[in-house]
Amino acid sequence: MFLSRIVLRDLDSIDSPASMASSKKVVTRDEWERKLRDVKIRKEDMNRLVMNYLVTEGFVDAADKFRIESGTQPEIDLATITDRMEVKRAVQSGNVQEAIEKINDLNPTILDTNPQLYFHLQQQKLIELIRAGKISEALEFAQEELAPRGEENQTFLEEIEKTVALLVFEDVKNCPYGELLDVSQRLKTASEVNAAILTSQSHEKDPKLPSLLKMLLWTQDQLDEKAAYPRMNDFTTAELQDPSI
């Protein structure tokens, strides 16, 4: 990524009206790899990036092992990660009440100051009741818990309607709002919970690695307009594809 920026810079400085109109500059694989070798990146920085990813995503054991093996210090106390991961796990397995109680043990101000999160957790609870086929309980819960949320805050009404609509359909999985019953909904809620806990602990809720990859994508797009060069199209393999001429 740094390399493509250097090339962009070089191109800008040699641009002349004549070369603008003509075809793009071509960078061969050899040239590219040579320039790549010249770019220096510190190992400590790499390690910190990896640790940041593990910690933010909540991979406690991996973070601990990585700490031992690389000597990189985690940015937050690993014990707090364990707590957070238990909450996330509870949501992901559909044990919403357990998750709520754990969040409140961790920091009771989170749900009081995040009405949207609290609502989504209660919504998830209703979804789980419907999934388990406990229809009368679900109805009671919707009336006692979800309806007041709608009264307290109008923006939740639409979501409540969608969720309650699930109760109407015989074949819930295939009804209009069936995606609410999907595991992805649990993951969405879990992710929201994770972010809220991280924020309350003064930690950034997004890991830095995805931002770097986004920057790489953007930089390559910018460079595409000016040059043909070995492009990285698959980040998982980091393979370079020869420039087409």
Which of 3/196 has CB closer to other proteins?
A: 196
Query: Residue 142 contacts by C-beta under 8 Å, 6 or more apart in sequence?
Result: 126, 160, 163, 164, 167
CB of 225 to other proteins, least distance (A): 24
Which of 59/118 has CB closer to other proteins?
A: 118
* Residues that bind other proteins in the complex, under the rule CB under 8 A: 100-101, 104, 107-109, 111-115, 118, 137, 140-141, 143-145, 148, 151-152, 200, 202-204
CB of 208 to other proteins, least distance (A): 10
End-to-end CA, the chain: 22
Which of 19/104 has CB closer to other proteins?
A: 104
Question: Whole-angstrom Cα distance, residue 102 to residue 100?
Answer: 5
CB of 11 to other proteins, least distance (A): 28
Which of 4/163 has CB closer to other proteins?
A: 163
CB of 122 to other proteins, least distance (A): 8
Which of 125/186 has CB closer to other proteins?
A: 125
Which of 10/98 has CB closer to other proteins?
A: 98
CB of 187 to other proteins, least distance (A): 19
CA atoms within 13 A on the CB side of 27: 23
Distances (CA, A) of 4 to 33, 39, 94, 215: 11, 11, 45, 11
CB of 160 to other proteins, least distance (A): 14
